Amino acid sequence: MASLPFEESEYRGRQSRFLAQIPQDNLVLIPTNPTSVRSNDVHYPYRASSYMLYLCGWADSGSVMMAKHNGDDWVISLFVQPNDTTSEIWEGRRIGVDDAASGWPIDAAHSLLELKEVVTESLNESNGVYLIQKSNDEIDDLVNDALTSKSRQRNTYGMGPVSIVDPSSILDEMRMCKSPAEIEVMQKSADIASQAHILAMQKTHVDVGEWEIQAIIEGYFLSQGFQWSYPSIVGGGDNATILHYHANNQTVVDGELILVDAGCEVDGYASDLTRTWPVNGKFTDSQKEIYNLVLKAELAGIEACKVGVPWNASHKAAMEVISKGLIELGILDCSFEEAMGENLDGKTRQFFMHGTSHSLGLDVHDVGDFSVPMQEGMVFTCEPGIYILEEALGIRLENDILVTANNPNDLMKNIPIEIEEIESLMNV
């Protein structure tokens, strides 16, 4: 049976901080993600809503979390799939109502068969609704009916909700800074991704298929009991210049580099890791020049991840290093100011066209308002790159960085990144 990745107190603390920002005469409804059809009667692997995982750790489909104030306290209820012998024979064991009530950080559990009756009654007793919409059609319809009904009770006694609010912004702000327990899980995710990349480097050879590298990495994730956090990018040669390359179906020939962007998901939390290495185990001199420039930008970007600085400080630091380097190498023929641009949009963007950082957590591109400065507990990627299409050369390096009260904590400091380290690892 599934179990919680965190102590119950972790979830209860999140619920309390969230509900403290909700008026007590309002009802809260948090549906999880729906299932998605891949083809005919075959579904994509299911992944629960990050909001549901964050608030109560429930990972099964179709469920709805409800919070209602009883005059003294908030009561957290969860609607789940009931036990059903026939369905479980075909589709697997269900946790069911009884086990959900005793094993999860909730106060009550109900069958989804009771959803309409219980939610309708709760809506009629509420002045407003906090709802994440477009995840559950039945919930959306129930709320819409409650908001627009013209019943005698509503007209006479003012019963029923008069407003609907999306609570996502409250939860997004809460999710920006990770707790020590979350950081521990994210470190595990980073460690597994790091070991998978190391294994892929060791097994790389001339004429290796991009799909072979993908299989090594994702196979390692599965061997540890986890899965990828996003579809792996494995691009050899000129495929490395395609930022979101996903075909992974070409062979990588002698003299080419291979760029691998692949992360692991552990208990819902993502890692995001990129390394670039020579398929034959030896960088050429020209490859070394660009690689070391990207590495220098990576280190500068990591160093910039400090409390109190703007969230794009890492990008500015990386842009400065790459701009100076491209001018020194003669790849750019312009001033430093022209390379940087007024809004980090100068000529360097021909060769470094994406950002350096994004937030990381329960989503690969995690939520939050990043107009605020960096804070302790935030986790960002740092991923500068240089892409020279004419030379079929693409190099990107990416680590996951925890912002601390002191120096940045590189969650991926244990995977080789220096040229000498990579060559030594590949030529053992």
Among 179, 201, 91, 193, which Cα is nearest to 398's?
193
> What is the pLDDT confidence band of residue 370, given thresholds at 50, 70 and 90?
confident
Q: Where are the alpha helices (DSSP H) in 225-363?
A: 285-303, 313-328, 336-340
43 catalytic residue (yes or no): no
73 catalytic residue (yes or no): no
358 catalytic residue (yes or no): yes
What pLDDT sits at residue 371? 86
State the pairing for strand pair 26-31/64-69.
antiparallel
What pLDDT sits at residue 156? 52
What pLDDT sits at residue 297? 98
CA pseudo-torsion sign 147, 148, 151, 157: positive
State mean pLDDT over 8-27.
98
Strands of 12-115, DSSP E: 26-31, 37-39, 42-43, 64-69, 74-80, 108-111
What letter would DSSP give residue 275? E
With 90 as the cut, is the pLDDT of residue 157 above it?
Answer: no
244 catalytic residue (yes or no): yes
- Residue of 12, 69, 349, 354 with catalytic role: 354
The values of phi and psi at residue 287, to 5°, are: -65, -40
- Residue of 358, 363, 376, 423 with catalytic role: 358
- Residue of 41, 72, 342, 420 with catalytic role: 41
**pLDDT tens readout for residues 251-291:** 999 999 999 999 999 999 999 999 999 999 999 999 999 99
The values of phi and psi at residue 304, to 5°, are: -80, -10
What pLDDT sits at residue 160? 85
- Residue of 137, 244, 333, 391 with catalytic role: 244
State mean pLDDT over 134-145.
95
What pLDDT sits at residue 369? 84
State the pairing for strand pair 128-131/164-165.
parallel
With 60 as the cut, is the pLDDT of residue 344 above it?
Answer: yes
Q: How far apart are CA 160 and CA 158, in angstroms?
A: 7
- Residue of 210, 212, 238, 398 with catalytic role: 398
What pLDDT sits at residue 2? 65
44 catalytic residue (yes or no): no
**pLDDT tens readout for residues 78-89:** 999 999 999 988
**pLDDT tens readout for residues 98-120:** 999 998 999 999 999 999 999 99
- Residue of 117, 365, 418, 421 with catalytic role: 365
With 80 as the cut, is the pLDDT of residue 206 above it?
Answer: yes
Name the CA dihedral angle for 90, 96, 100, 102, rounded to a multiple of 10 degrees.
Answer: -130
354 catalytic residue (yes or no): yes
Compute the mean pLDDT over every residue in the chain, rounded to the nearest whole number: 95
CA–CA distances in Å: residue 179 to residues 96, 175, 379: 30, 9, 11
> What is the pLDDT confidence band of residue 151, given thresholds at 50, 70 and 90?
low
The token pair at 2 is 């599934």
**pLDDT tens readout for residues 221-246:** 999 999 999 999 999 999 999 999 99
- Set out the domains of the chain in order of their start, with CATH numbers: 8-174 (3.40.350.10), 177-426 (3.90.230.10)
Whether the model clears a pTM of 0.85, i.e. scores above it, the answer is yes
With 90 as the cut, is the pLDDT of residue 158 above it?
Answer: no
With 90 as the cut, is the pLDDT of residue 155 above it?
Answer: no
- Residue of 220, 387, 400, 410 with catalytic role: 387
The token pair at 177 is 């800074």
With 60 as the cut, is the pLDDT of residue 152 above it?
Answer: no
**pLDDT tens readout for residues 18-73:** 999 999 999 999 999 999 999 999 999 999 999 999 999 999 999 999 999 999 99
Radius of gyration of the chain (CA): 25
**pLDDT tens readout for residues 387-399:** 999 999 999 999 9
84 catalytic residue (yes or no): no
Phi-psi region of 225 (alpha: psi -120 to 50; beta: other; left: phi over 0): left
387 catalytic residue (yes or no): yes
- Residue of 261, 298, 320, 366 with catalytic role: 261
246 catalytic residue (yes or no): no
Q: How far apart are CA 197 and CA 136, in angstroms?
A: 38
Among 208, 201, 194, 183, which Cα is nearest to 263's?
194
Is the CB of residue 381 less than 8 Å from the CB of residue 398? yes
State mean pLDDT over 130-140.
96
398 catalytic residue (yes or no): yes
205 catalytic residue (yes or no): no
Phi-psi region of 115 (alpha: psi -120 to 50; beta: other; left: phi over 0): alpha
